[in-house]
Structure 1
Amino acid sequence: MTEKEQIGWKQIEQMAGSSGLAAMEELQKFSPRLAKLALEFGYGDVYNDDALDLKQRALITLSSLITQGDAGRGLAYHFRAALHVGLSKEEIMETVHHCSAYAGFPKAIHALFIFKEVLEEDN
C-alpha cells in the first residue's frame, strides 16, 4: 500500500467513519484500480489539505453532487459523511434547498428523497 493510500484510508475514516470504510472496501473488492485512484488522489491529495475543514468540504461535495442530479449512491455516501463530520440535518436540508435555485427543483427534490432514505436507513 502506498503512502497516499494510507493517507486516503485515514481521511475516509475521519470523514465518513465505518460506513465510509465499508463503502471503500466494497469498491476495492470490485475494482481495485478505481479504489486505488480514489484513495490516492481523491482522499490522499484532495482531502489532505488544511485550507478547508471537513464540514466545508462536505458542503461543497454535496452541492456538486446535487447539481449533477444523478449521483444516487455517491450522494447517499456523502450525506452520511456530512452527518458524520457534524453537519446537522437542518444544514444539509438547507444546502439542498439552496441548490434548487441553481440546479433546478427536480434535482433538489431527487436529492432530498435520497437524504430522506439515508435518514430512514440509519435510524
Structure 2
Amino acid sequence: DARSLAPLDGERSAALRAALLQALAPRELQPRATRRQLPRRLRHFQSAPHVAFSDGDDATQLALVGSDRPGMLAQIALALREARVRVHDARIATFGERVEDFFTLTDGNGKALDAPAREAVRVALARAFGAPSQ
C-alpha cells in the first residue's frame, strides 16, 4: 500500500524507533534447571553428591562426587551462580552412574574462597540437590 512507502511522520517514526529500541535492548537471561524426571530405577538411590574443598595457589578446588542424574551439571552451574563464585576450570567425568566433577573457583576479586564463600557454595549445592546443608 502507498502509506507503507510514504515517508514516516513524526509520530510513526517515534513509535517505530521505540519498538526497535525495545526489541534490540539487551536482556538478562534467566537460567533454569531442567525438570526431567529421574528414571524409576534411579529414584531410590539418589543422594546429594559429596562436596569437598581444598585450596590451591590462588583459587579453591571444589570436588563433587556422587550418582549421576539428568540435569546435574545444570544444577551445579545454577548453584555456583547463586553463590556468586567464578569458575575458572571444570573437569567433568562420568563413570557409568558415578560422576566426579572438579572445579577451580575464585570469589569476585579473583581470590581463593574464604569460609563464608565456601559455606555459600555448600548451601547452594545442598539446595540444588534437595539435601539439608551439612
- Using CA pairs under 8 Å that are at least 6 residues apart, name the structure with larger relative contact order, 1 or 2: 1
Q: TM-score range by the shorter chain?
A: under 0.3
Which has a greater percent of helix? 1
The structure having more radius of gyration, on CA atoms, is 2
TM-score, length-scaled by structure 1: 0.24
TM normalised by structure 2 equals: 0.23
